[in-house]
Structure 1
Amino acid sequence: EVEGPGPAVAPAPTSGSTVLQGGGVFVAMGVIVAMWLF
C-alpha cells in the first residue's frame, strides 16, 4: 500500500514484522483520519 516502506522492509525479515505492524497501524490511522476529513 505504501511504496516507501515496502522495499525497505523486504531485506529485513526479523525487523520486518514489527515494522510492518507499526506501519500498518499508522496506515490504518491515516485512512481513518482521511475518512473523517473527507
Structure 2
Amino acid sequence: MSDVQFFALISFILGIGLTLFYLFLHNRKIVIKWYEWLI
C-alpha cells in the first residue's frame, strides 16, 4: 500500500467517524427534547 492510499484510507475512516459522531450527538439532543416534552 502506498502512502497516498494509506492517507486516503485514514481520511475516509475519520470522515465516517466524525459524521457518525455528529449524527449521534444531534439525535441525542432530539431524543432529550422528546423526553422532556413527554414528561
What is the TM-score with the length of structure 1 in the denominator? 0.60
For structure 2, the 5+ residue unaligned runs are 1-11
Whose Rg is larger? 2
Aligned-pair Cα RMSD in Å = 1.3
Give the % identical residues: 11
Higher helix share: 2
- In the TM superposition, structure 1's runs of 4+ consecutive aligned residues that sit over 4 Å from their partners are none
For structure 1, the 5+ residue unaligned runs are 1-11
Which structure's relative contact order is higher, taking Cα pairs within 8 Å and 6+ residues apart? Answer: 1
